[in-house]
Amino acid sequence: MENEFSFIKNKLRPLSFGRKEARGLSDDCALFPNINNLVISVDSSIEGVHVPLGTDLSVQARRAILRALSDLATFGSTPLCVFTAINIPNTFNSKSFDKIADGYRKALIEYDIFLAGGDIASYQGLPIFTVTVLGDKGSSTLGRKGAKKGDLIVVSGAIGDSFIGLKLLQNNNASFNEDKTLINKFLIPNPRIDIGKIIINYATSLIDISDGLLADLGHICKNSNVGAEIFIKDIPISKGAQNYIDSNVFSHIDLITGGDDYELLYTINPKDIKNLDNNSHIIGKIIEGDSLNLYSIDNQLLNPNDTFMGYKHF
């Protein structure tokens, strides 16, 4: 059965006709070296797929822009503006429109960018916010291809908050003081624009974590033709997320396969370790081959199997 990934790889990639700007449709963005190193990415956010049914429209709209901006961070690019296509239910009213505009406004102001154009169409379906982001001054040297054997694997912040936040939203079941923070990590992603601009100066590969830490590390490995070993004990976990691990509600595996973190995952040559800031955590290293070796909290090599590989859609 063909899925979205194989559709892109097998049927859409040939339509880039080998143009370098498209980067084989395998990176988060296209980059135009001849146009100010312009960086462009497109993302759709569908109610019921990317956010739970009934999520506040203002949050949906804001989140759609923030997610798209996260792609720009992987090229160290400065956000410039956004375009949007909004597909809205026929039943929408003035209040719905107010909420959408409000959500967009929040994201635009926060990143000092503007809405440059768009398209609105009403239909018999759920809200869909498709966002095209433009950024300039992208780095053409990065992407997912450059990881080398011996490189260290780094994440820019705590992993798994957003996964737990989503589960809390879905089950309407917050228990701990820190739960509101977890929920907000899901609803209001923090694209790592500023960190991206610094990292591009020394990272050898770079991706934002949207599909889950393991899956996105897999994207780097596959595109760089390398393997990786990572250590669960070294993966940063917030106090809020630790509550749920301690309570045996969620496992580390859940957190690193959950997705929607929008932290940056990247590789560096060990000589550049001095450049890392306090929020960056080395979680493993790049190895030869094509295996992804995962070590448990007590440093046991786990047996890879389908339960911890790849993104689980909700």
Residues of the shown chain interacting with a second copy in the complex, contacts defined by CB under 8 A: 1-2, 4, 7-8, 11-12, 14-17, 19, 21-22, 25, 29-30, 35-36, 38, 40-44, 46, 48-50, 81, 83-85, 87, 93-94, 97-98, 100-101, 104-105, 108, 114-126, 128, 130, 132, 134, 136
Distance, CA of 101 to CA of 103 (rounded, Å): 6
Q: How far is the CB of 9 from a second copy (least distance, A)?
A: 11
Query: Minimum distance between the CB of residue 201 and a second copy, rounded to whole angstroms?
Result: 24
Nearer to a second copy, 46 or 193 (CB): 46
Q: How far is the CB of 146 from a second copy (least distance, A)?
A: 19
User: Considering beta carbons, is residue 120 or 302 the nearer one to a second copy?
Assistant: 120
Q: Which is nearer to a second copy, 123 or 170 (CB)?
A: 123
Shortest CB 284 distance to a second copy, Å: 29
- Measured CA to CA, the distance from residue 165 to residue 242 in angstroms comes to 13
> Based on CB atoms, which residue is closest to a second copy, 108 or 198?
108
Separation in Å, CA 63 to CA 44, 67, 82, 252: 11, 6, 13, 25
The distance of closest approach from Cβ of residue 296 to a second copy in the complex, given in angstroms and rounded to an integer, is: 33
Residue among 119 and 288 whose Cβ is closer to a second copy: 119
Query: Please, where are the H alpha helices in 111-192?
Result: 161-171, 179-187
φ/ψ of residue 287, rounded to 5: -125, 170
CA distances (Å), origin 244, targets 39, 163, 251, 252, 307: 38, 11, 8, 10, 19
Minimum distance, C-beta of residue 214 to a second copy, in the bound complex (Å): 21
Least Å distance between CB 20 and a second copy?
A: 10
Closest to a second copy by CB, 98 or 288: 98
User: Nearer to a second copy by C-beta: 121 or 277?
Assistant: 121
Query: Could you tell me which residues come within 8 angstroms of residue 131 by beta carbon, excluding any fewer than 6 positions away?
Result: 42, 43, 44, 45, 64, 65, 67, 68, 82, 83, 84
| Whether the Cβ atoms of residue 263 and residue 216 lie closer than 8 Å to each other | no
Residue placing its CB nearer to a second copy in the complex, 120 or 273: 120
Question: Residues 6 or more apart from 154 whose CB is under 8 A from it?
Answer: 203, 265, 266, 267, 268, 276, 280, 281, 282, 283
Strands 152-155 and 227-231: unpaired
Sorted by sequence, the CB contacts under 8 Å of residue 196 that are 6+ apart come out as 72, 73, 74, 75, 76, 77, 206, 264
Q: How many residues does the chain have?
A: 314
Q: How far is the CB of 141 from a second copy (least distance, A)?
A: 18
